[in-house]
Amino acid sequence: EVHLVESGGGLVQPGRSLRLSCAASGFMFDDYAMHWVRQAPGKGLEWVASISWDGGNIGYADSVKGRFTISRDNSMSSLYLQMNSLRVEDTALYYCGKDRTMISATGIDSWGQGTLVTVSS
Amino acid sequence: QSVLTQPPSVSGAPGQGVTISCTGTSSNIGANYDVHWYQQVPGTAPKLVIYANRNRPSGVPDRFSASKSGTSASLTITGLQAEDEADYYCHSYDSSLRGSVFGGGTRLTVL
């Protein structure tokens, strides 16, 4: 059974940094693309970033480009999101998601329970 | 303002059917990128119910179906049940943005 467990969320001041992690188990991690998707309180889903199985293809939403960095460690079956220069509007529940295939945008078939990031002074 | 446009809400009585639309543009759905659909019960993580325009993952009832045409896609749920009450999101890829895009979500109410 696929398990995705996010961690690293918390309360942080605007302009500061945070690193999210996603520990994966139950599948061959290095065979699949992975995603970060966020959901602000009471709002809809917003795609944040994606990374292909080998890290060779990476994409970011315009709202986080230049501030966030997605990465993966296939030896550790882990996905990361380094978030710098955080803004109040980055406040959201951040989900880690597994794609159906090696490349992204073929459908996210497994999701973690999310980790909450709150940016506030 | 989401790149993919969905109606904010739809409703139907138990046993009836509803259709949720997802309207895109020539750089996403109209560019022949696949559309996927997710169900999210409030307070829980999203769940994939349709992938690649019309395919159901294992375990999703055949009451859920979907189609795509031109710059739009739609999700149809027949034989509505109370457990279908949730938010539904469409998802595709956008070549202009070089990334994934989600619809704004549609709240389904089972009357």
3-state SS assignment for residue A89:
helix
pLDDT, mean of residues B32-51:
97
Residue B29 CA: distances (Å) to CA of B16, B25, B62: 28, 6, 24
Q: Which tens digits make up the pLDDT trace of B14-40?
A: 999 999 999 999 999 999 999 999 999
Q: Which tens digits make up the pLDDT trace of B78-90?
A: 999 999 999 999 9
pLDDT of B44 over the 80 cut: yes
Dist. CA B88–CA B77, nearest whole Å: 11
Q: Which residues of B touch A45 (CB under 8 A)?
A: 38, 40, 46, 89, 91, 102, 105
Q: What is the pLDDT of residue B2?
A: 87
* Better pLDDT: A105 or A12: A12
Q: What is the pLDDT of residue A108?
A: 96
Q: What would the DSSP string read from start to end of B13-78?
A: -TT--EEEEEE--TTTGGGT---EEEEE-TTS--EEEEBTTTBPPTT--TTEEEEEETTEEEEEE-
Q: Which tens digits make up the pLDDT trace of B64-108?
A: 999 999 999 999 999 999 999 999 999 999 999 999 999 999 999
CB contact under 8 Å between B100 and A50, yes or no, is yes
Q: Which tens digits make up the pLDDT trace of A15-30?
A: 999 999 999 999 999 9
Count of CB atoms within 10 A of residue B100's CB?
27
Q: Within an 8 Å CB–CB cutoff, is residue A46 touching chain B?
A: yes
Nearest to B33 among A45, A62, A105 (CB): A105
Nearest to A109 among B40, B57, B101 (CB): B57
Q: What is the DSSP letter of B29?
A: G
Q: What is the pLDDT of residue B11?
A: 97
Q: Which tens digits make up the pLDDT trace of A74-113?
A: 999 999 999 999 999 999 999 999 999 887 788 999 999 9
Q: What is the CA radius of gyration of chain A?
A: 13
CB contact under 8 Å between A109 and B40, yes or no, is no
pLDDT of A64 over the 90 cut: yes
Tokens of B58: 């294992």
pLDDT, mean of residues B48-55:
97
By C-alpha distance, which of B27, B20, B28 is closest to B105? B20
B17 neighbors B79 (Cβ within 8 angstroms): yes
Half-sphere exposure of A24 (CA within 13 A, CB side): 26
The CA distance from A86 to the nearest CA of chain B, in Å, is 21
Q: What is the pLDDT of residue B1?
A: 81
Give me the residue label for tokens 């904010």.
Answer: B8
By C-alpha distance, which of B64, B88, B60, B67 is closest to B77? B64
B92 neighbors B36 (Cβ within 8 angstroms): yes
B75: exposed, middle or buried (C-beta count within 10 Å: 0-12, 13-18, 19+)? buried
Q: Which residues of B touch A111 (CB under 8 A)?
A: 45-47
Count of CB atoms within 10 A of residue B81's CB?
12
Q: Which residues of A touch B88 (CB under 8 A)?
A: none
Nearest to B45 among A46, A106, A111 (CB): A111
Nearest to B104 among A44, A104, A107 (CB): A44
Q: What is the pLDDT of residue A102?
A: 82
